[in-house]
A and B are shown apart, each in its own frame.
Chain A
């Protein structure tokens, strides 16, 4: 069964410090992976997806198949980065569509 693990419930860093939010997955095959962000009491927004290999708001994530990881990184944290971050693994469903298996989330708090 596929699984997504985010080991840290809370990550607190100072403004300007580097950030790394950890995500490990369990999946047989070549995975697609997403990072979603949820600012306080707002809807989840797609932040990054593995296939596009782009940088959004200064965040990047590299898929490491050997370590089965998809860690989210940013070199210099900003106060506005404070949010809940979810790593998600899609799985094709019977009838089409895909189910997202989410990690439990990491709350990032950027302190001044």
Chain B
């Protein structure tokens, strides 16, 4: 398995609280991604990073922000969590940007917003 660690693995919090999820990689890969997984939707891209301090939005970015201050760490922040953000969040990494380069995924963070 690729060296990807997500923390925390599980979190329960209340509506309106800030939440930060961390993705840490030991592969020195340039590209990092955050997806959410929901029944009936598969996985959808939230934000991605193509280098330190270089990030961009995915298809479901509203309510989320990200930061990447080091190659190995990619943080996802929910500034004010809502119940609709209850989901399983996956971090992924890839080495090159070519279309045939697959992504490798972390174990996921199960987030519940009450």
Chain A positions within 8 Å of B, measured between CB atoms, are 4, 6, 32, 34, 36, 42-46, 49, 51, 86, 90-100, 102-105
Contact B90 A95 (CB under 8 A): no
Instruction: List chain A residues, Cβ under 8 A from B48.
Output: 93, 97, 99
Total number of B residues with any Cβ neighbor in A under 8 Å: 35
- Residue in B42, B50, B105 whose CB lies within 8 Å of A43: B105
Q: Does the CB pair B97–A96 fall under 8 Å?
A: yes
Across the interface, do A90 and B42 meet the contact criterion of CB distance under 8 Å? no
Contact of A49 among B54, B58, B102 (CB under 8 A): B102
Contact status A42-B99, CB under 8 Å:
no
Contact A97 B107 (CB under 8 A): no
Docked CA distance A86–B48 (Å): 20
Pair A95/B54 contact, Cβ less than 8 Å: yes
Min distance, Cβ A24 to any Cβ of chain B, angstroms: 14
Identify the closest chain B residue to A87 (Cβ). Answer: B42
- Residues in B whose Cβ lies below 8 Å from that of A46: 102, 104
- For residue A56, give the distance in angstroms from its CB to the closest CB of chain B: 12
Contacts of A43 in B (CB 8 A): 1, 4, 90, 105-108
Kindly provide the distance from the CB of A52 to the nearest chain B CB, expressed in whole angstroms.
9
Interface: B89 (CB within 8 A): no
A4 to B92, CA, bound (A): 19
Whether B114 sits at the interface, judged by CB under 8 Å, is no
Contacts of B56 in A (CB 8 A): 93-95
User: What is the bound-complex CA distance between A96 and B56, given in angstroms?
Assistant: 11
Question: Does B44 touch A at the CB level, under 8 Å?
Answer: yes
User: Which of A6, A86, A98, A104 interacts with B94 by CB under 8 Å?
Assistant: A98
B residues near A45, Cβ cutoff 8 Å: 105
The answer to whether A98 and B98 have CB atoms under 8 Å apart is yes
In the complex, A94 Cα to B45 Cα: how many Å? 14
Alpha-carbon separation in the docked complex, A34 to B92 (Å) = 15
The yes or no answer to B22 lying at the interface (CB within 8 A) is no
